[in-house]
Amino acid sequence: MSVGGRKWNALGRGDTLIDHFTASNELRPRAHSVIPGGAHTYAKGDDQYPVLAPGFITRGSGCHVWDIDGNAFIEYGMGLRAVSLGHAYPKVVSAAVRQIRRGANFTRPSDLEVACAEDLLKVVPGADMVKFTKDGSSATTAAVRLARAYTGRDMIALCADHPFFSYDDWAICATPMMAGIPDEARRRTLMFRYNDLAGAEALFSAHPGQIAAFILEAAKDVDPAPGYLAGLRDLCHRHGALLIIDEMITGFRWPHCSAQRYYGVEADLSTFGKSLGNGFAVSALAGKREIMRLGGFDHDRERVFLLSSTHGAETHALAAAIAVMEIYRDEPVVETLQRQGERLQAGVASVVADYGLSDHFKVVGRSSNLVFSCCDRDGVPSQVFRTLFMQELIRRGVIAPSFVVSYSHSNDDIDQTVDAVDGALRIYRRALDEGPELYLVGRPVQPVFRKRGDAAVA
């Protein structure tokens, strides 16, 4: 049928469409008037979601969330991959609440700082010391400062295939969002490609004695080539540089809770966060003693102001992290993430095949960390078709900027999601044949990293 010149699908089996976001739409202008971009995290902003989307989530339980209009959704992405166990996971909440009742922040360190550090060091291969902070950007920036101090060099090489390491100048200067960043930051930041040792060697040749460290994720959408990570570490050491591995995402999602342990490599410094707190704000920098100790005072070198923040070791966040690590030790969390991801991937692949969309819609990545790619009729990645797909999932009760599962996604949740994907891809198929403008409501989503704003998305 057609409404206002726009075609809508007839309901298929299992489709119950959600189009009611009145309360969200009323709150959006207020949010944008007091918060730049309307949200405190760019990836959660209105420009990242269709017009037909919940603007504000009010509560969550397991893998289910409810918006301020009372709509219920199965959620994927799970707090930007931070909530690997599930929202309001009882054991984690109980541990945090118990500690909150005893106090959240003291004048001297808490004993939990020692206990949590010791637990994390059991996970990170080759690491001897830990510093906790609140977010991943702070941890990676501390790693960069430490690498520069340890090596006496200024340049940092970032993996161009892993787009976000920090909101600080040294990393954001590699994106189109350069406003407010000195040109000097860009001159000190180099780029290299994943799985390309020759390219890394070329950087060392072009900048002899100047590179302090290479930083990358251990893996993202593809696994490292055999020997790549160890080869990159050896290359760094041969040229007097350090290897920093960012495990914000792979930590506690990959087997053994660490991609370093899984792939058999030890970084000089590594960073953890996201799943470590199951939504509570805690991240960590871990590394070898001879490097990390520069942030202390038991040495005769110039001291590094490493990490020192009022809230860096809030006790309830550390209590949550200790509970999370205990759950990972005692329960098959990683195995479940992998199994449920595989179930979802197989179900979606079957639907894709049914609609003949293998050239237009793909699911990639490790089963515990799946993302999808949407392409137009020419097979070109398309923000328009990504928006349409997300819109149609939302209308069927699924929020999915990715297909990242949690420990709380049941078989029934996965199967309901596959049904929703079936309905969404039915519309996707029609849009390829007839044009997406007949089905998409409003503007498409936009990349986070873009040079200029767009008033139309507010």
Domains with residue ranges and CATH for the chain:
11-87+332-457 (3.90.1150.10), 105-313 (3.40.640.10)
Q: What is the mean pLDDT of the chain?
A: 93
- Which of the residue ranges 111-115, 407-411, 444-448 would you say has the lowest mean pLDDT? 444-448
B/e letters for 351-370, b = 16+ CB within 10 Å, e = fewer, are bbeebebeebbbbebbbbbb
Q: Which residue has the tokens 């805690």?
A: 282
d(CA 418, CA 165): 32
Backbone angles phi and psi of 181, in degrees to 5: -110, 125
Residue 59, C-beta contacts closer than 8 angstroms, at least 6 positions apart: 65, 66, 87, 88
Q: What is the pLDDT of residue 302?
A: 87
d(CA 143, CA 174): 18
Burial class of 214 by CB neighbour count within 10 A (0 to 12, 13 to 18, 19+): buried
Backbone angles phi and psi of 369, in degrees to 5: -150, 55
* pLDDT class of 361 with cuts at 50, 70, 90: very high
Mean pLDDT on 77-84: 95
Is the pLDDT at 329 greater than 80, yes or no? yes
Q: What is the pLDDT of residue 457?
A: 45
* pLDDT class of 7 with cuts at 50, 70, 90: low
Residue that wins the pLDDT comparison between 3 and 152: 152
pLDDT digits (tens, 9 = 90+) for 124-142: 999 999 999 999 999 999 9
Q: What is the pLDDT of residue 176?
A: 82
pTM of structure: 0.92
* pLDDT class of 298 with cuts at 50, 70, 90: confident
pLDDT digits (tens, 9 = 90+) for 94-121: 999 999 999 999 999 999 999 999 999 9
pLDDT digits (tens, 9 = 90+) for 237-278: 999 999 999 999 999 999 999 999 999 999 999 999 999 999
Is the pLDDT at 5 greater than 50, yes or no? no
Q: What is the pLDDT of residue 3?
A: 35
Backbone angles phi and psi of 192, in degrees to 5: -135, 165
pLDDT digits (tens, 9 = 90+) for 200-210: 999 999 999 99
Mean pLDDT on 68-81: 96
CA angle at residue 319 from 316 to 320, to 5 degrees? 90
Mean pLDDT on 34-49: 90
pLDDT digits (tens, 9 = 90+) for 9-35: 544 445 668 889 999 999 999 999 999
Residue 178, C-beta contacts closer than 8 angstroms, at least 6 positions apart: 172, 186, 451
